């Protein structure tokens, strides 16, 4: 068996695919990986919230005016996003782009939006205002914005697994910016310690043919008056989540599903999601019974 790895930038992060395959499949594997990189890169471009010329950018630009024809993958992500938005009773909503833009956590130098601006932005968040006709997508009200940043990565992870399996790959690990999916044998997946530098873990999970997704308040944030404002937004309040959770890790059959429910668990810790690990700001953590069976604590975690 041979091993091949490809690393590329897309979706605003570093992405890695590692596959194991028989010697005779060398040429085929190279072609498949090239195809995946090209497709994921295109999805990243089409779903770029910050590019007004992307497919998502055009949907937002023409909100309240007309619908926009989109590619197959953008349509599928929006359809999935709408489905999960309706399921989660307002805890997750892909039309929260207006709040994403208002807070602009990635570029914020400490500015806190006024209560009035937050109130007005919240009124524009409603996934029911997305309308889809064939391969065209629109928003009913001017000022509304779709933001697929929370699920596009999960979609691409699932898509990559689907393509590899369809091509006969029996062993692989896909890691797109910390959203991980495995194929075949059991892999040990490290869980980031939210209080340490990147790469230092609290422990590992033994995972086979599943997805592992972690979301944390340490990933993107700004600090003002000693208070941290995270990129994770509580849509009920129109503000960054303000609780005692440092990170949430979920294990699921789908990376996209895990993307959605890490957000839900962050805002509702009583969520009965079956496979979760929640780390609190004081260093304590708790996990579901299912994960206790496959979790191994790192000796260095105190």
pLDDT digits (tens, 9 = 90+) for 128-144: 999 999 999 999 999 99
**Tokens 């579901």 — which residue?**
288
pLDDT digits (tens, 9 = 90+) for 68-92: 999 999 999 999 999 999 999 889 9
Please tell me what DSSP assigns to residue 16: E
Residue listed under structure tokens 């700004």: 222
**Which DSSP letter does residue 198 get?**
T
Q: Which class in CATH covers the domain with range 55-139? A: mainly alpha
- pLDDT value of residue 108: 66
Q: For 7-46, what is each residue's pLDDT tens digit?
A: 999 999 999 999 998 876 888 999 999 999 999 999 999 9
Task: Spell out the per-residue pLDDT of the chain, length 302, in tens.
Answer: 889 999 999 999 999 999 998 876 888 999 999 999 999 999 999 999 999 999 999 999 999 999 999 999 999 999 999 999 999 988 999 999 999 999 987 766 778 899 999 999 999 999 999 999 999 999 999 999 999 999 999 999 999 999 999 999 999 999 999 899 999 989 999 999 998 888 899 999 999 999 999 998 777 776 776 777 778 899 999 999 888 899 999 999 999 999 999 999 988 876 767 789 999 999 999 999 989 999 999 865 54
Buried b / exposed e over 136-172, threshold 16 CB at 10 Å, is ebbbeeeebbbbbbbbbbbbbbbbbbebbeebebebb
Q: What gap in Å lies between CA 299 and CA 302, rounded to an integer?
A: 8
Please choose, from the candidates 202, 296, 219, the residue with its C-alpha nearest in 3D space to the C-alpha of residue 263.
219
| Mean model confidence pLDDT for the chain | 92
Name 111's bridge partners: none
CATH topology assigned to domain 169-297: T-fold (3.10.520)
d(CA 134, CA 46): 18
Binding residues for Mg(2+): 150, 259, 263
Closest to 33 measured CA to CA, from 62, 5, 75: 5
* Element of type H or E holding 101: helix 97-103
Bind-site residues? 150, 259, 263
Name the segment(s) of the chain with CATH classification 1.10.3980.10.
55-139
Cα three-residue angle 251-256-262, rounded to 5 degrees: 55
Residue 269: count other Cβ atoms within 10 Å of its Cβ: 15
Look up the pTM and report it: 0.93
The ranges of the chain annotated as CATH 3.10.520.10 are 169-297
């Amino acid at each position: 068996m041979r091993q091949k790895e490809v690393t590329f930038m897309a979706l605003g992060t570093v992405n890695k695919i590692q596959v194991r395959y028989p010697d005779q499949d060398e040429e085929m594997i190279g072609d498949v990986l090239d195809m995946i990189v090209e497709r994921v890169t295109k999805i990243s471009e089409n779903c770029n919230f910050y590019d007004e010329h992307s497919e998502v950018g055009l949907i937002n630009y023409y909100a309240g005016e007309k619908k926009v024809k989109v590619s197959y993958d953008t349509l599928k992500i929006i359809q999935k996003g709408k489905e999960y938005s309706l399921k989660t009773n307002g805890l997750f909503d892909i039309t929260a782009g207006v709040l994403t833009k208002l807070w602009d956590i990635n570029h914020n130098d400490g500015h806190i939006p006024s209560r009035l601006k937050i109130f007005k932005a919240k009124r524009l968040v409603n996934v029911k205002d997305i309308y889809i006709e064939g391969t065209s997508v629109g928003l009913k009200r001017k000022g509304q914005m779709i933001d697929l940043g929370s699920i596009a990565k999960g979609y691409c992870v699932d898509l990559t697994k689907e393509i590899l399996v369809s091509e006969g790959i029996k062993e692989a690990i896909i890691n797109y910016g910390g959203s991980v999916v495995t194929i075949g044998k059991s892999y040990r997946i490290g869980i980031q310690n939210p209080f340490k530098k990147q790469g230092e873990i609290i422990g590992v999970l033994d995972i086979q043919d599943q997805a592992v997704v972690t979301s944390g308040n340490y990933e993107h944030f700004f600090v003002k008056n000693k208070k941290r404002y995270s990129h994770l937004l509580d849509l009920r309040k129109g503000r960054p989540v303000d609780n005692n959770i440092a990170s949430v890790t979920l294990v699921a059959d789908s990376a996209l599903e895990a993307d959605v429910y890490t957000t839900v668990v962050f805002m509702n810790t009583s969520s009965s999601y079956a496979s979760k690990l929640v780390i609190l700001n004081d260093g304590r953590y708790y996990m579901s019974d299912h994960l206790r069976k496959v979790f191994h604590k790192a000796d260095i975690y105190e």
